[in-house]
Structure 1
Amino acid sequence: MTAKLVEKFQELFGAEGDIRTYFAPGRVNLIGEHTDYNGGHVFPCALTLGTYGIARKREDNKLRFYSVNFERLGVIESSLEDLKPYKAAEWTNYPKGVMWAFEERGYKLPNGLDILLYGNIPNGSGLSSSASLEVLTGVILKDMFGFDVSMTDIALIGQFSENNFNGCNCGIMDQFASAMGKKDNAIFLDTNTLQYEYAPVVLEDAKIVIINSKVKHSLVDSAYNDRRNECETALKELQEVVAVQTLGDLTEEAFEKHKDAIKSEIRQKRARHAVYENQRTIRAVEALKENRIEEFGKLMNESHRSLRDDYEVSCKEIDILVDLAWETEGVIGSRITGGGFGGCTVSIVKNEAVDGFIKNIGEQYLAKVGHEAEFYVVDIGDGARVLNG
């Protein structure tokens, strides 16, 4: 893989100099959705799918980007003097945003770069191709210029750039999972404190299967920001009657006691999801640690119902996939994963049922929706890293 990418890099940008290779994974979140900006817990794991980068320092301030995934766009040029978001800059707004965020934090970039990228995360799938690209850029800058930043810093810089440069008000989960992933482990992260622990995902008789609905509804960014604003308003209303810093501070009992302080039924539903999903995530991790996989699966199912009914971030195609999974023998649990409005589902499926699961759901989804879904039986991989350098 990387040898071919280096060859392409040399063909485009020349073979001289110190050419280095990098990788940052995508992620799938097993449970804990839309809790990361509400001060709750999440439980993502890094995938072996992700974004590869080939990079070399330049002597000037020029930036040259090329993506194997968007060959038709060719080489996109910019410079360190022009770190601003432009629609015409297409996907390069993500790495440029990270460069801008480094400089905002006092890490001045001394030189420009030539960068070639290739990602095997399907775009718009909800497996965090954007966070993978942001974290990859952070690792490139740390390695190339010797910046004294930790992998947690790189995650936070990636989030800062997406919030303030790209305009999506995301939480920390996606960047944290890409930066801090560990093979065969998910990350139990308290997004309020950034305290985390690795929890082994030992599925002796089962596999994690991701289904890409091949649907991405265009309202995802605006609706995402709407949900965040609704939760922030609900929190302010609750703070009039109970001393909490975040929705994640509330138990289900405390929420039910004080929920009438929230003056809108919609905001009540949004806050209920944030509170209940956080508690579900805590229970799910305990169940996994004690090898109670069936209970973990039931909590995944509850998570989907809450995301569908209270948070309203699902869509017809995703609900079809989840309903089909729930009806399939050998499925332990299934839910939407990612920001919503399309993208992917994640299911835990018993080994002997995987082939039938893919065949049956594939056929029925095609018949119901009119286009095919994509299936990935995934492995949990390590976080972002230098491959050589």
Structure 2
Amino acid sequence: MADEKVIQDLKDKFTELYGEGEMRCFFAPGRVNLIGEHIDYNGGHVFPCALTLGTYGVARKRADKKIRFYSTNLAHTGVIEADLDDLVYKKEDDWANYAKGVVWAFMENGFVPECGFDFACTGTIPNKSGLSSSASLEVLTGTVLMGLFGFDTDQVQNARFSQLAENKFVGMNCGIMDQFASAKGQEDKAILLDCATLDYTYTPVVLGDAKLVIVNTNKPHELTNSAYNDRRRECEEALELLRTKKDIQAICQLSPEEFEEIKDVITDPVVQKRAKHAVYEENRCVTAVKELNAGNIPAFGKLMLGSHESLRDDFEVSCEELDVLVEEAWKCEGTIGARMTGGGFGGCTVNIVKGDAVDSFVKTVGERYQARTGLVADFYVVSIGDGAHEVCE
């Protein structure tokens, strides 16, 4: 459900910045991945859901080729201007490069706006939390383009173009999961997405009396400047070696048994661990969805723990703060599942907690986390929402 006050405040700001006139409002959600981490670019399955947290945008066509961007969350950057005829990455354009990149990606694929537009946005996703505020902005921009200019494309292509923008324009070598979840989410459902083919099915997330609780470490992560791109490079190296023994297109095509038979072709122990994570995480993800469909939430939770341990030990994208949150979560009565979510190196954990234990979970985990790290965590009991759309009043 749209946040009417957020929308009205954004419209008021848009009018203040750009003047009176017709305007259209759009929304794209953030996402949380329940299981299946760092395997979207390894040809595996992921299991994300869209959140009711996200990014709202208001836009209006212009008479010239100029594009103007403004974010209420980053008001200090002011109005950032670009031109349709000169869309290039500029460090000083900060966050607007993500939006510019999507316009560039649409144009690269033949969807060329006949004019520029004014754009203002506001996000309800905590910045740098690992809940995909950047993908939300990208998918929002694509939804604005489709709405304003009537482009004959769909949200799957929007997700593709948004990923292209982040890979080639911004320089972040991400997979497609975040953008796909933001573009194609459905209320109260998660998406089992085959990242090799983009085949997908929706699965109802029925947790009984349990709740989804996201906990933000409040240790920001900077994925573009972190080891994320290194991990992808290591996986590519592993794939090339594995292909000398097996005819595969992606690491996640291997079963755990097949991997164990040929893993020694990877002589670098670090690279071998990266491949091991991808293979076993694929198996965990597919198994977890089967358990959820069978109503076996405790089994789903145990697979979440296995996922976190693999991300910590084999893929090495966790950090002390994430590990502390997960450790303290599992000590709490009423915790069914807990793991880091997102790219890692900071950001958030996702937890399944019995409804009557949520208050004590928040209090206990919050106090223990602060005592161990000196940081104050933020807790969000979240709902699963719809994907990107125009907000109709």
Q: Tell me what 2:258 maps to.
A: 254
Q: Tell me what 2:331 maps to.
A: 327
Q: Tell me what 1:5 maps to.
A: 10
Residues 1:92 and 2:127 are matched in the alignment:
no
Structure 2: any 5+ residue segments left out of the alignment? 1-5
Shift of 1:241: 0.8
Q: Tell me what 1:163 maps to.
A: 167
After TM superposition, the structure 1 stretch with the greater mean CA deviation from structure 2, 362-371 or 26-35, is 362-371
Shift of 1:222: 3.6
Shift of 1:218: 4.3
TM-score where L is the length of structure 2? 0.97
Structure 1: any 5+ residue segments left out of the alignment? none
Among 74, 81, 91, which residue is 2:78 paired with? 74
Deviation per residue, 1:153-177 (Å, 9 max, x gap): 0000000010000000000100000
Go from structure 1 to structure 2 and tell me whether the alpha carbon gap of 1:137 and 1:350 turns closer, same or farther (over 3 Å shift).
same
Q: Distance in 1 between the 2:220 and 2:56 partners? A: 24
Q: Distance in 1 between the 2:271 and 2:343 partners? A: 18
CA contact (8 A) 2:72 2:121 kept: yes
Quick one: percent identity of the two aligned structures?
58
Among 21, 24, 42, which residue is 2:46 paired with? 42
CA contact (8 A) 2:143 2:389 kept: yes
Q: Tell me what 2:182 maps to.
A: 178
Residues 1:64 and 2:68 are matched in the alignment:
yes
Q: Distance in 1 between the 2:18 and 2:223 partners? A: 37
Shift of 1:50: 0.2
Shift of 1:12: 1.0
Q: Distance in 2 between the 1:80 and 1:243 partners? A: 44
Q: Tell me what 1:51 maps to.
A: 55
Q: Tell me what 1:341 maps to.
A: 345
Q: Distance in 2 between the 1:165 and 1:12 partners? A: 27
List aligned pairs for 1:116-127, cutoff 5 A.
116-127=120-131
Deviation per residue, 1:114-134 (Å, 9 max, x gap): 000000101110000000000
CA contact (8 A) 2:25 2:390 kept: yes
Residues 1:387 and 2:376 are matched in the alignment:
no
TM-score where L is the length of structure 1? 0.98
CA contact (8 A) 1:220 1:340 kept: no
Deviation per residue, 1:279-306 (Å, 9 max, x gap): 1000000000000000000000000000
Deviation per residue, 1:250-284 (Å, 9 max, x gap): 00000000101112100110000000000100000
CA contact (8 A) 2:31 2:49 kept: yes
Q: In angstroms, what is the RMSD of aligned CA positions?
A: 1.0
List aligned pairs for 1:1-389, cutoff 5 A.
1-16=6-21, 18-218=22-222, 221-388=225-392
Shift of 1:220: 5.6
Shift of 1:338: 0.3
CA contact (8 A) 2:29 2:386 kept: yes
Q: Distance in 2 between the 1:73 and 1:230 partners? A: 36
Query: What SS does the aligned partner of 1:77 have?
Result: strand
CA contact (8 A) 1:220 1:341 kept: no
Q: Distance in 1 between the 2:181 and 2:99 partners? A: 18
Which amino acid in the other structure matches residue 165 of structure 1? F
Shift of 1:26: 0.1
- Runs of 4+ with >3 A deviation: 217-222
Aligned residues: 388
